[in-house]
Amino acid sequence: MKIPKTLKIGANIYNIIFKDMQRNERQRFCGYEDPDFCEIIIDSKQNIQSQETTLIHEIIEAIDYRNELKLKHNQIMVLEHNLYQIFRDNNLLK
């Protein structure tokens, strides 16, 4: 998957930022979505597969936040892993 520099999610344009996260940040998460600044931050030290799944996860987080879906974190994780598997099994990650 080509990870773009920006990504439109709903009415908002998000900047995709790669950051060398500190060790204590890395232990907590692989990335995060900042709705106030329309940013998705991804740990640059992850392998490409982890970066791709993190991007999918944070996209779901942004959709959840903007639409007040109130998904539980485990529901977001299930969606992330299943969507990634669909993309991978159907050769959509080019």
Average pLDDT score over residue span 66-75: 97
pLDDT at 93: 85
Provide DSSP, 70-89.
---HHHHHHHHHHHHHHHHH
The model's pTM:
0.92
Residues ≥6 apart with Cβ < 8 Å to 46:
30, 54
Confidence grade of residue 21 (pLDDT, cut at 50, 70, 90): confident
Residue 26 in this model has a pLDDT that exceeds 60: no
Q: Is 12 helix (H, G, I), strand (E, B) or coil?
A: strand
Residue 24 in this model has a pLDDT that exceeds 90: no
Q: What domains does the chain contain, in order, with CATH numbers?
A: 6-89 (3.30.2010)
Burial class of residue 41 in the structure, from the number of CB atoms within 10 Å of its CB (0-12 exposed, 13-18 middle, 19+ buried): buried
Q: Bigger pLDDT: 25 or 10?
A: 10
- 8 Å CB contact between 54 and 31: yes
Average pLDDT score over residue span 33-39: 96
